[in-house]
Amino acid sequence: MATLVEASREFLYRVAAKIDAGEKQIKEISMAKNFSCMVSDRVTYDASQIFGSCGYLRTCLVERLCRDNRILSIGGGTREIMKEIIAKHISS
């Protein structure tokens, strides 16, 4: 899980550095966001599996993270939209 989080972080940092340098990064932003959402889904699911039934109790941090993950991934734009943006910029 830590490897996925670190890979996601490094990808975001690389895209941010290119944006800071003045490069247009629409496709890369969508790719980084899509990958980060995928990692977040995977990590919160794995954490809830590790914690077992405790991961579903309101008193457990894992339960809140799983709940927040779903809301943030939907509110920030669904992964399907990110895939459409990526496909549009790859094909052009």
Task: Read off the pTM.
Answer: 0.81
Q: Quick check: 10 and 62 in contact, CB under 8 A?
A: no
pLDDT digits (tens, 9 = 90+) for 42-76: 999 999 889 888 777 788 888 888 888 888 777 76
Q: Is the pLDDT of residue 26 over 80?
A: yes
Q: How far is CA 23 from the centre of its chain?
A: 22
Fold of 2-91: Butyryl-CoA Dehydrogenase, subunit A; domain 3 (1.20.140)
Cα–Cα distance for residue pair 31/49, rounded to 1 Å: 27
DSSP state of 76: T
Task: HSE, CB side, 13 Å, CA atoms: give it for residue 43.
Answer: 17
Delimit the domains of the chain by residue range.
Answer: 2-91
